[in-house]
Amino acid sequence: MTRLKFCIGVLGLVSLSSGAFAQFGTTVTVPLWRIEADSVPWFVSANSNVRGCTYVPAGDVFVATKEAGIIGIKRLNSATGAVGTDLAAPSGGFTGGGGGVLCKVVAAADGAIYACNLATSANTFKIYKWLSEADTSPQVIFNGATQANQDARCGDELQETGTGNSTVIYAGGSGTALYKFTTDGTTWSCTKVIATFTTGIPMIAIDGTDYWLRGSTSTGVSTKYSGATNTATATTCGTSTDAAYCPIAFAVYGGKGMLGLGIGSSAATQQGKPILVYDTATAPPSTQLFNFLGTEFTGGAKANGNGVGCLTFDTARQRLYNVYTNNSVSAYTIPAGSGVNEWNLY
């Protein structure tokens, strides 16, 4: 039976939220819902097999798992975390890759869903597409065995922007390269946009036609890149002192650009790390808009030695979804309004 971890022990503090918010004060929050590792068979704390999540606008949340014998994309209710029916698998199942036949999943504004494997050698990377969450016949839109230019490890990270023929997909691999995939409506093409990425996994957050990039083994800040030229700009944001923050996400909310930093590489002894959300208008050390706590495994964080995970904003429903690999899948309510300086959750 699925066990959802609802954290309700600080309701007295939560009841102060609206007043504290209005006064830019200190407030405390807990997850809207949380699924803890080992509470479901597809999410095992000793493994690193749950790494990606996404949501369909006005639809469900989807989490990719490559747990042996249970490989698939799990459907979760966005408001409660209740587990539903898996997203339909492709004909013949998920195949390819050397690091896992299924790794990441993303969704477009029009409801299309994309997922990929983790290729650890050349010519094995695949991207799958569902036209909607109801699609029962997903297609392989890119296959590195027959389509050129994906020539190194790929699939540790996957992000998407645009819809239809204007869709652009970014994918990258640990210590290798960053690739961009585009389509003419019939064929998908791959271009290597950063030849060598030396600081671990190139974690990506889409910012309109541009994107933010952060290395999973870097203590440096997240840097904004031009989507047209794939070159860094002078804009930087986020912590420059803590290598534990790896997955990133971007959204505009309350008139502010928000860059979220999720917990990535961590030791089992690491405690109390919150998800951090920064105002992108300010350079490091940037103004923290929000902190979200309660992501780690009950009793203490489980090691996430691969530095993987996922973070995504659902601003229309005022939610944030997070995968803290080896620990939990969780959702949070984003406070209404704008202008909050900090949510102190300690």
Three-class DSSP category at 12:
helix
Determine the pLDDT at residue 7. Answer: 37
Query: What's the CA gap between 342 and 333, in Å, rounded?
Result: 15
CATH 3.20.20.80 assigned to 11-333: no
Residues 152, 154, 160, 163, CA torsion sign: positive
For residue 269, name the pLDDT band (cuts at 50, 70, 90).
low
Residue in 230, 256, 265 with CA at minimum distance from that of residue 313: 256
In tens, the pLDDT along 39-90 reads: 999 999 999 999 999 999 999 999 999 999 999 999 999 999 999 999 999 9
Residue 255: φ, ψ to 5°: 80, 5
pLDDT digit string (tens) for 11-34?
222 322 322 222 222 344 679 999
The tens digit of pLDDT for each residue in 299-310 reads 888 888 888 999
What is the distance, to the nearest Å, from the Cα of residue 343 to the centroid of all Cα atoms in its chain?
Answer: 21
**pLDDT above 70 for 274:** yes
For the stretch 194-240, pLDDT in tens is 988 888 899 999 999 999 999 888 777 899 999 999 999 888 888 87
pLDDT above 90 for 178: yes
Looking at residue 114, its amino acid is Y
> What is the band of 337 on the pLDDT scale with cuts at 50, 70, 90?
low
Per-residue model confidence (pLDDT) at position 340: 42
Taking only Cα atoms into account, the Rg of the chain, rounded to an integer number of angstroms, comes to 19
CA atoms within 13 A on the CB side of 142: 31
* pLDDT band at 268; cut points 50, 70, 90: low
User: Could you write out the DSSP letters of every residue in 50-114?
Assistant: EEEEEE-TTS-EEEEE--TT--EEEEE-TTT--B-PPPPPPTT-S---SSEEEEEEEE-TTS-EE
Backbone φ and ψ of 91, nearest 5°: -60, 125
Q: Any idea where the domains of the chain sit in the sequence?
A: 11-333
- Bigger pLDDT: 318 or 266? 318
Q: How far apart are CA 126 and CA 131, in angstroms?
A: 17
pLDDT of residue 235: 84
